Amino acid sequence: MYFASDNAGIAHPEVMAAVNDANKGYALGYGLDNLTQDTVAQIRAIFEAPEALVYLVPTGTAANALALACLAQPYETIFCAPMAHIQEDECGAPEFYSGAKLSLVGNTDKIQPDDFTAEIERSLARGFQGIKPGALSLSQVTEFGQIYSVDEIKALSDIAHAHQLGVHLDGARFANAMVALDVSPAEMSWKAGVDAVSFGATKNGCFGVEAVILFDPAKAVEFEARRKRGGHLMSKHRYLAAQMQGYLANDLWTRSAARSNATCARLVKALRSIDEVEFDSEPQANVIFCNISVDAHQRLVDAGAMYSVIGEADQRVSIRLVCDWALKDAHIDQFLKILSDLA
Amino acid sequence: MYFASDNAGIAHPEVMAAVNDANKGYALGYGLDNLTQDTVAQIRAIFEAPEALVYLVPTGTAANALALACLAQPYETIFCAPMAHIQEDECGAPEFYSGAKLSLVGNTDKIQPDDFTAEIERSLARGFQGIKPGALSLSQVTEFGQIYSVDEIKALSDIAHAHQLGVHLDGARFANAMVALDVSPAEMSWKAGVDAVSFGATKNGCFGVEAVILFDPAKAVEFEARRKRGGHLMSKHRYLAAQMQGYLANDLWTRSAARSNATCARLVKALRSIDEVEFDSEPQANVIFCNISVDAHQRLVDAGAMYSVIGEADQRVSIRLVCDWALKDAHIDQFLKILSDLA
Amino acid sequence: MYFASDNAGIAHPEVMAAVNDANKGYALGYGLDNLTQDTVAQIRAIFEAPEALVYLVPTGTAANALALACLAQPYETIFCAPMAHIQEDECGAPEFYSGAKLSLVGNTDKIQPDDFTAEIERSLARGFQGIKPGALSLSQVTEFGQIYSVDEIKALSDIAHAHQLGVHLDGARFANAMVALDVSPAEMSWKAGVDAVSFGATKNGCFGVEAVILFDPAKAVEFEARRKRGGHLMSKHRYLAAQMQGYLANDLWTRSAARSNATCARLVKALRSIDEVEFDSEPQANVIFCNISVDAHQRLVDAGAMYSVIGEADQRVSIRLVCDWALKDAHIDQFLKILSDLA
Amino acid sequence: MYFASDNAGIAHPEVMAAVNDANKGYALGYGLDNLTQDTVAQIRAIFEAPEALVYLVPTGTAANALALACLAQPYETIFCAPMAHIQEDECGAPEFYSGAKLSLVGNTDKIQPDDFTAEIERSLARGFQGIKPGALSLSQVTEFGQIYSVDEIKALSDIAHAHQLGVHLDGARFANAMVALDVSPAEMSWKAGVDAVSFGATKNGCFGVEAVILFDPAKAVEFEARRKRGGHLMSKHRYLAAQMQGYLANDLWTRSAARSNATCARLVKALRSIDEVEFDSEPQANVIFCNISVDAHQRLVDAGAMYSVIGEADQRVSIRLVCDWALKDAHIDQFLKILSDLA
């Protein structure tokens, strides 16, 4: 019963097969190999963005930090939600790579347009003493499992662009959001005003690869030099590309996301019928935030269930349940049974 | 006939097997998994350094830059050879991670003790206006294929330590040097005064993993935070560990290095009997620097031989030939035949 | 009627006299001159801190940023109030010099101990993915004109030290706070647990000098190298020292602060009797935050009054009035008369 | 007998008078005051560059580092002479502000065009692994007292611009060089291809002010934000401007430089007739590099002469003699007498 994270599971067998297939013959290093070139072309096609610059890196933190370094200058600030991964979980990597500051917008998981406008204006009001607005970063899926609609992304991008700010989408769970919204990659990115995407693959089936997609070449200055300077240019680059090939081939990426979302929906539906469980927010993708009694928590833990504890108060435990693509129905059943038995 | 680099070949089948083996079940992320813990223990044992801090990262540039960030402060300088990889081929990564400067010592591939002492003294003579001495970085094997003897490393470390400087060994080809010297890992590192090693595995059989080994905990402050801040903490960490496991198991790492060195030695011996070829330095590991006529170069290229061209002058072409562990005897024979036919 | 800032006035004639006096003969550069050495000794004596490291720099932003770079590592965070000068008005200088992040504590001008503890715990809870606690920075006087009591500073320092965090005091208006509290420099700094002080002199009579006082040598590593690297080591250093000499001689610094505080108190008292004026907070030093009607604001501006407008809502204008040491009684009378005439 | 440095003397009385004059009334802070605006206009007029961006900072290191941060990106390198002040005497400030590396060109005090071209080509040859060419920095007067002719500057600028590199002139002794060459400020800067000048005033009569002049607005991105972020925006800015006003008024700056150059020429002429003295290079401005016997050195030191010792070998002492604008004839006579008496 593993609901702790979508980075604890295995790589998908189709991804591993692609990696094994790639392990033959000599290939140019540093991304000059054919497999990498093909992967770049494939991502451009999927995103309907023939001019986009596409780069592969081994981690999501690298993808976010390097993308943001292209969008924000060292004397600027990057707007994000207070609970954004780039603020809370990357140990300062975005600041390290860009030199920029982070400014926290409002106090909601999904950034509200009014809060965003207010924070830009507050920044500008500091004049030459304050830090200048530089970029906007959105997480899709958000850290609390919510999804921005295409219109919501567009509304925020419009505000950003009105102030000449680039827009970054942290898409560690890009596929889960896209499948849930039932839109195309382009619709959820550049058509909605996004300038740069961290296109996650690690959580959804690979073992260590993310793509950075920069739609606006003018905002992609020297990504390559920055990547090398950050130590993120893999010499045997084909093994990044092979993972991504396996991930994109035969729609594995959308199949995996659809499966995790469906598994999650089944779990949500069942949990709704259990009095014990209170939802902290409405699950929209493959992540659930809810609270249960201390007693229920104890039984689940005793039975070997693994998940993150967010907090504890008044005899209730707030937990996060992540459904990854490999989660077994049997484990969900077992999890539900423990909760049902309590009632 | 691929002599261009030891990063263009495949991962060793035993390494791939280890990665495939690791692809089952859930495992904690971020290096908390058992496979990583075992790997760390194994490296400590191999280096006879039970207290050493050991970390895995995906690239050699990351290994060097992060290790150096532990040894040198932002207002200090790192001494290295003018042709050191950290100076010439990492696009400023060591400076980015450490904040320190690089100071080039002498004009030889292997740093000479007198040059090192002179450069430290020159730095100190600048007083508060100059940059302070911070660390020494040696490449073993060097960029021109040479090997420091254990005594030579010790002599340089002694000078460094006399000035309270930490010593870093860029061991992208650690195994090749160690096998050539016929010494133990400990003898070529901490017993010779080395404080931090970038222990390369990518060039010698893996597809993307290097270990940073920090022997002196006092000089390892917050490697973990720096690694995360640099985006180099892989979430599905077991796939780094699995590569390293395959690399260390059954002495694959020394077997591979012994094979590349032997292949290289065979090639060197044969080349010596060909008048056409002039050696630019005495090959000591698995890399050869020599020069051939323009005509010979053209024929080799036409026949599909791949290698790096260092420069061209007076109808002679200086080239670098790298023999990786997978190089086939048939390719060496073919290469030699083209040169012999010229005579 | 100039209430806009305490950095728009002249340098005190006694300070200018000291600078003119210093303008004779040769003197060693870079702070090795006698005047600088004397000044350092004098500050140590005033602070009863014979071992303290004392450095002069030309701006308050430099003082804060350099002091904080000694207290926090690049992978750590500095806790401060959301409206702290280091967060709002230094264009990212503290982050630039230290490499650290800023974490905003609570939403009050004066940091509350519970908020501080909560924020530390929140940081620690992020584990290796989050940023590590590094230092605490307090503004005394605060940005909204409030003063921490010695006990309040001590309570916050105790929390900081319990977590091994250094404590920095941004004392741009150190003298105003100290005079208002009627305590000694030592009582308001190291005796209350402060590790580093930015000791402001520019706002209170000089034209460009601040001292950084580092009480704990272990937390003062390489201030000198950092200062030089930041371009803040003045070569003709005696002119920084001369200002500070003039500032400290004959208690000019406390006389000036006492005068601004008294002027401010007189203004506050008079404003209390005017219905038109509502105080936004209780003035404690030489800065007043209040709101007046749009009509009153217009008349004041028309009459040439200069002050900062904080915001405007519901026909009321929130303003900041700063009383510097040189403010003339006649100007206060004129200002009050305009407001009284309205009634 | 003070020949040690041109930063140990007093500020010129005319500069001090201007500062004292400025010390009245209120003035807007942060450079918005009239005096600053006038100074900027005056510098633009002097340089015949009505569109140039002009900023004042308190130190030469700040001027150089901030100017270079505008010309070079973090993943680029700045070419300079091996003995350049930015390389040897600024403790890493240029790297800190720009993020860029420094690449040392040739081994001469004045950069040679061929060496410069070779170094650019060497950088480019490293490809994506190496650091990219970013800017060129020249010292005028050089660190060893030499002067680039206008044609020499132009030749180097042409090479730089052919590779899209910006050109920076470290003009700590700008006036001395300009007077020696008998050219206009424009001729020695933008007309010769210079994009940014650090226009020194501290060594030649002020106590702490330098101007950064950026001729190409496209290469001046956000100097203001970078200056503030570096802590170099003086709040009471008029005191920087007043120094510069005094410096420029009535040609004080060229008068001072002419005087130091003439004093130096007189000293050189006299030294030539003393067998004891050997010149290490041909003095061209106000700095002399020569060597004398150990015995002569001892007598000079005993008599209270102050100068820098560069090195000592074979019973000869290499020394640097700087003639500042305030150097008295009597001191030169005394200095010469000691040397003559030896003969």
Task: Check CB contact under 8 Å for B74 and C226.
Answer: yes
| pLDDT, tens digit (0-9, with 9 covering 90-100), for D226-280 | 999 999 999 999 999 999 999 999 999 999 999 999 999 999 999 999 988 999 9
**What are C244's two structure tokens?**
């500070």
C76 interaction partners in chain B (CB closer than 8 Å): 225
Least Cα separation, residue D226 to chain A (angstroms): 6
Q: What is the token pair recorded at B121?
A: 């003294």
Chains A & C: contacts with CB separation below 8 Å: 48
Please tell me the distance from the alpha carbon of residue A88 to that of residue A81, in angstroms, as a whole number. 10
The pLDDT of C68-94, averaged and rounded, is 96
Q: Which residues of A touch D235 (CB under 8 A)?
A: none
Which residue matches tokens 């035949």? B337
pLDDT of C158 reads 98
The band of C215, judged by pLDDT with boundaries at 50, 70 and 90, is very high
pTM of the model: 0.95
Q: Which residues have CB under 8 Å from B273's CB, separation 6+?
A: none
**Cβ contact C229–B30 (<8 Å):** no
Which residue of A lies nearest to C122 if distances are taken between CA atoms? A88
Instruction: Note whether C96 contacts A90, CB cutoff 8 Å.
Output: no
Instruction: Report yes or no: A75 at the D interface, CB cutoff 8 Å.
Output: yes
DSSP string, B111-165: PPHHHHHHHHHHHHHTGGGSPEEEEEEEESS-TTS----HHHHHHHHHHHHHTT-
A52 touching D (Cβ < 8 Å): no
| Secondary-structure percent of chain B, ordered helix, strand, coil, rounded to 5 | 45, 20, 35
Quick: pLDDT tens for B243-299.
Answer: 999 999 999 999 999 999 999 999 999 999 998 899 999 999 999 999 999 999 999
What is this model's ipTM?
0.95
CATH code at D13-252: 3.40.640.10
The answer on pLDDT for C221 being more than 80 is no
- Of A284, A259, A268, residue with least CA distance to A147: A284
Minimum CA–CA partner of D90 in chain C: C229
Tell me the average pLDDT across C177-187. 98
How far apart (Å, rounded) are the C-alpha atoms in residues B161 and A283? 58
Confidence of residue D286 (pLDDT cuts 50, 70, 90): very high
| A248-252, A323-327, C232-236, D106-110: least confidently modelled range | A323-327
Q: Provide the CB-side half-sphere exposure for D212 (13 A, CA).
A: 31
Separation of alpha carbons C297 and C50, rounded Å = 50
Parallel/antiparallel/unpaired status of strands A196-200 and A210-214: antiparallel
A3 near A321, Cβ under 8 Å? Answer: yes
Supply the angle between the helices A252-272 and A238-248 in degrees, to the nearest 10. Answer: 60
Cβ–Cβ < 8 Å for C173, C204: yes
Tell me the C-alpha to C-alpha distance, in Å, between residue D264 and each of A18, A279, B44, D39. 75, 84, 65, 30
Count of residues for chain A? Answer: 343
Residue type, B37: Q
Q: How many CB pairs under 8 A join B and D?
A: 49
CB contact under 8 A, C225 and B132: yes
Q: What is the pLDDT of residues C39-53, one digit of tens each?
A: 999 999 999 999 999
Q: Does D225 touch chain A (CB under 8 A)?
A: yes
Q: How far is residue A268's CA from residue D261's CA, in Å, rounded to a whole number?
A: 85
Question: Does residue B130 have a pLDDT over 90?
Answer: no
Confidence of residue D218 (pLDDT cuts 50, 70, 90): confident
> Please, what CATH class does the domain formed by B253-342 belong to?
alpha beta
Q: What is the pLDDT of residues D172-202, one digit of tens each?
A: 999 999 999 999 999 999 999 999 999 999 9
pLDDT at position C116: 98
Q: What's the pLDDT score for residue D276?
A: 87
Q: How many angstroms separate the CA of residue D114 from the nearest CA in chain A?
A: 27
User: Mapping DSSP to helix (H, G, I), strand (E, B) and coil, where does residue C206 land?
Assistant: coil
Mean pLDDT of chain D: 95
Is the CB of C235 less than 8 angstroms away from the CB of D25?
no
Minimal CA separation from A23 to chain B, in Å:
5
pLDDT at B125 over 80: yes
Residue A188 to residues A49, A163, A168: CA-CA distances in angstroms? Answer: 13, 21, 12
Least Cα distance to C207 among B262, D308, A171, D239 occurs for D239
With 0-12 / 13-18 / 19 or more C-beta atoms within 10 angstroms meaning exposed / middle / buried, residue C44 is middle
In this prediction, residues B195-211 reach a mean pLDDT of 97
CB-based burial, C115-127: b 16+ in 10 Å, e otherwise: bbeebbeebeeee
**Within the 303-322 window of chain D, which residues sit less than 8 Å (CB to CB) from chain C?**
306
Domain ranges in chain A are 13-252, 253-342
Please state, in angstroms and rounded to a whole number, the distance separating the CA atoms of residues A190 and A209: 22
Q: Tell the residue number behind the tokens 């954004």, with chain if given.
A: A84
CA distance B255 to A37: 33
Contact check, Cβ <8 Å, D129/B75: no
Q: What is the dihedral of CA C270, C271, C273, C277, to 10 degrees?
A: 170
CA-wise closest residue to D12 among D304, D286, D208, D177: D208
pLDDT for res B88:
94
Whether residue B96 lies within 8 A of chain C, CB to CB, comes out as no
What does DSSP assign to residue B168?
A: E
Q: Which residue has the higher pLDDT, C261 or C313?
A: C261
Write down the pLDDT at residue B5: 83
CA distance D343 to D335: 14
The pLDDT of residue C5: 83
Cα C132 from Cα C124, distance rounded (Å): 7
Q: Which residue has the tokens 């004066």?
A: C110
Kindly report the nearest CA distance between residue D296 and chain A, in angstroms: 52
Is residue A250 helix, strand or coil?
A: helix
Strands (E) in chain B, as ranges, are 53-57, 76-80, 101-104, 132-139, 166-171, 196-200, 210-214, 278-279, 287-293, 308-313, 316-322
pLDDT tens, residue by residue, B63-73: 999 999 999 99
Q: Mean of the pLDDT values across residues B336-343? A: 86
Tell me the shortest Cα–Cα distance from D307 to chain B, in angstroms. Answer: 15
- For residue B124, the chain D residue with the least C-alpha distance is D88
In angstroms, the separation between the Cα of residue B99 and the nearest Cα of chain D is 7
Q: Does D130 lie at the interface with B, CB-CB under 8 angstroms?
A: yes
Q: Confidence band (pLDDT; 50, 70, 90) for D1?
A: confident
Q: Which position has the token pair 């150097």?
A: D327
CA distance A33 to A19: 14
Cβ distance C202 to D235 less than 8 Å, yes or no, reads yes
A88 interfacial to chain C (CB closer than 8 Å): yes
Residue C267 pLDDT exceeds 90? yes
Tell me how close the Cα of B85 comes to any Cα of chain A, in angstroms.
13
Q: CB distance from C279 to chain B under 8 Å?
A: no
**What is the Cα Rg of chain B in Å?**
21
* CA A184/CA C333 separation, integer angstroms: 69
Handedness of CA D115, D117, D120, D121 (dihedral sign): negative
D250 lies within 8 A of chain B by CB: no
**Interchain pair A128, D30: CB under 8 A:** yes
Q: What is the dihedral of CA D260, D264, D266, D268, to 10 degrees?
A: -170
Chain B touched by A59 (CB under 8 Å): yes
pLDDT of residue C220 exceeding 80? no
* Spans in chain A with pLDDT lower than 70: 343
